[in-house]
Amino acid sequence: MTPPDRPHPSAYPARPALGGAPAEDRSPVAWRTHPPRGHRFADTLFAHFVCSPFVIGGVVPSSRFLARAMSREAAGFESIVELGAGTGSLTRRLVADHPRIRLIAVERDVSLARQLARACPLAAVREGCVHQHLDEIAAQPARTAIVSSLPFRSLPASLASVAIATLERFLLERPAGKLIQYSYGLRAPFAFSHPAIEWRRVERVWRNVPPALVWIARRTNARR
């Protein structure tokens, strides 16, 4: 029996599940930045950042607030291509918000890509760099949104230049397309060489580590 001077154990609030989120909030969409029980440290974004700091670009996944802000910008398109999917914090948000839209998620790191494919089976996960999937990206419909988490400021110049050229060609060929990218600085994420493409800052997300800005890029003659 419980001693009379102590409350019954049922009076105490239930402990949250490992990872900091309540047990009932452990669905693939709710997983976000809270890894499930048994999740290895080697699978975390921080571990991958330690191994490849210039390619990964950050030590923690994007917050759910940044994911929601970027996902809102992808509404109304026929197809979504996510670049730099990482551990999938944004991928899961895109799947939840746009369940009827085809989603292709591209991730360079093989182990992260395979981990994401298991955790988010509704997305078509592709391993490799952007330029390795040019044919599939080029085959997407005219109204396609590219959602990018690529760390252009820290990427090696060789990788950044190829990715930028791919995105520029994509936007030039699709007046109805859109690039959604976030950055941590006040400047545009990177410069396009073609004057017909312009950046527009759409939202600041304070509840992210660090605070981020959401940008969109389109052809200047595209309908907004």
Decide if 20 is inside a domain: no
Whole-model pTM: value is: 0.73
Q: Which two tokens stand for residue 94?
A: 């895109």
- Asked if residue 104 is part of any domain, the answer here is yes
Query: What average pLDDT score do residues 117-132 get?
Result: 94
Residue 116 lies in a domain: yes
* Structural domain that includes position 96: 25-219
Asked, for residue 11, whether it belongs to a domain, the answer is no
Write the pLDDT tens digit of every residue in 25-81: 333 333 333 444 455 544 444 443 334 443 434 446 789 999 999 999 999 999 999
CATH of the domain at 72: 3.40.50.150
- Bigger pLDDT: 176 or 5? 176
Q: Identify the pLDDT of residue 24.
A: 34
DSSP secondary structure letter of residue 198: E
Q: What's the domain count of the chain?
A: 1
Q: How many CB atoms lie within 10 A of CB 24?
A: 9
Strand order of the sheet with strand 197-205?
A: 124-127, 102-107, 79-83, 144-148, 178-183, 212-219, 197-205
- Asked if residue 220 lies in contact with residue 206, where contact means CB atoms within 8 angstroms, the answer is no
pLDDT of the residue at 1: 47
CB distance 45 to 60 below 8 Å: yes
Is 5 inside any structural domain? no
Residues present in the chain in total: 224
Q: Is residue 60 part of a domain?
A: yes
Stretch 173-182: mean pLDDT: 96
Name the percent of the chain lying above pLDDT 70. 72
* Residue 224, in any domain of the structure: no
**Model pLDDT, residue 40:** 55
